[in-house]
Structure formats: structure tokens, C-alpha cells
Amino acid sequence: MTSLRQFFAMLCTATFCLTATAAFAQSGKPAEPTPPKAATAEPAAKDPAGQKKIDEIAEATRSLTGPAGNPECVWLGRRVVNLLWRDDLDTAFRHLDLYDRFGCPGAHIQATFRCLVRQGNIDPKAQETLNGRVHACWLNPGLEPIAADASPAPVTTSGGTAKP
């Protein structure tokens, strides 16, 4: 019985020594933490669209008075108008709830959407985008509609005569 106890004692000691040695070998000198990268203009150079959004929000904050110029109101409001234009009403109403919760003026949404509708459909071949038009209407909801040409340009035939 004594030899059996000695055997288990030696087995436990050997096991403890082996596991302790393995654990000690893995816990070498801790690596020094790397300092965080300083914020530079590099991310803006990689993401010009993100910088453009920031500039547009800053422009709206400077040009609008009252809560409609608050950055959160500009961001949420422009999204609401954009979603309304694209007929995504469920998402637009959820954003509108947030817009109201921030204390943003609901009348500005209405005026901006009215301006957007008055501008007419966006020509897919034109350089103008929906976001650009929403931004212009957000800054100036009284923007006059884009006037279409009253008469098309005459087309000349190979004979040199113009057809209307």
C-alpha cells in the first residue's frame, strides 16, 4: 500500500512539473503595446465620399438656422427625404420617428420633399444624383424647379434643310 501511495505521489509531482514547465515556457516577456495611430488626413483620402458627406453636413449647419441645421437633423432628414423619393415608406417612417425624437422640425422634411418633387424626375444620363438634389433642396427648400426647354433643337437633314 505504501508503494502505491509513493507511485501516485511521484506521478502527481511529475505531472505538475511538466505542466508548470509548459505553462512557464508560453508566458515569455509580454509584447509592448503598439501606440494607437494618430488621426490623420489619410482616412479621408481613402474615403472621399465620407469626407464629402461631412462637408455637406457642415455646409448645412453653417447655412441653416435652428434645429434643421443640427448635424443629426441634417443626416436623418436627408435620409428620410431620400427614402420617401424611392418609395421606401416603412424605412422612411422609422427614420422619421428618430428625426422627431431628436427634436428636428418636421416642416423642413415636408418643404424639402415638396422641393424635390417640384424638380421632377432625375435623368439617368445626367450628372446630377438624387443625393445632390436632396442636399440642394435641404439647404434651400424654396428652390425653383428646373425649367425644361420649351422647344427641341431643330434636326438638320443631309440636304441642309431643318426639320422641326
The runs of H, that is alpha helices, within the chain are 2-26, 42-46, 48-63, 71-85, 89-101, 106-119, 130-139
96, part of any domain: yes
69, part of any domain: yes
**Residues 99/80, Cβ–Cβ less than 8 Å:** yes
**Residues 143/116, Cβ–Cβ less than 8 Å:** no
At 13, is the secondary structure helix, strand, or coil? helix
Note down pLDDT in tens along the chain; length 164 residues: 677 788 777 766 777 666 655 555 555 555 565 655 555 445 545 567 678 778 888 888 888 888 889 999 999 999 999 999 999 999 999 999 999 999 999 999 999 999 999 998 887 777 678 888 999 999 999 988 876 544 444 555 555 555 55
19, part of any domain: no
2, part of any domain: no
Rounded Cα distance, 40 and 114, in Å: 40
Rounded Cα distance, 119 and 51, in Å: 27
Amino acid 3: pLDDT: 75
Q: Domain range spanning residue 83?
A: 48-139
Burial class (CB in 10 A: 0-12, 13-18, 19+), 85: middle
87, part of any domain: yes
4, part of any domain: no
Q: Domain tally for the chain?
A: 1
